[in-house]
């Protein structure tokens, strides 16, 4: 399970990659939370979910 800091950092990364749109903080938080938690439950998950490669980010 991802920590709050991991979710916050990843949500910020997703938000920045989307062009920093205003008013969508909950959307990016949720996307980061879902993706990090899914990655941490995967048998081939990286040991540190906050170091996912750019190919795993939603487009």
Secondary structure letter of residue 53 according to DSSP: -
pLDDT of residue 59: 46
pLDDT of residue 50: 52
Contact partners, residue 50, CB within 8 Å, separation at least 6: 6, 9, 10, 36
Give the integer Cα–Cα distance in Å for 46 and 59.
Answer: 20
pLDDT of residue 15: 97
The tens-digit pLDDT sequence of the chain (59 residues) is: 899 999 999 999 999 999 999 999 999 999 999 999 998 776 665 555 555 554 445 54
Counting Cα atoms < 13 Å in the Cβ hemisphere of 33 gives 7
pTM above 0.85, yes or no: no
pLDDT of residue 41: 76
**What's the maximum distance between 2 C-alpha atoms anywhere in the chain?**
35
């Amino acid at each position: 399970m991802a920590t709050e800091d991991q979710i916050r950092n990843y949500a910020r990364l997703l938000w920045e990659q989307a062009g920093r749109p205003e008013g969508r903080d909950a959307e990016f938080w949720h996307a980061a939370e879902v993706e990090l938690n899914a990655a941490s439950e995967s048998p081939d998950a990286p040991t540190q979910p906050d170091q996912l490669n750019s190919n795993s980010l939603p487009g």
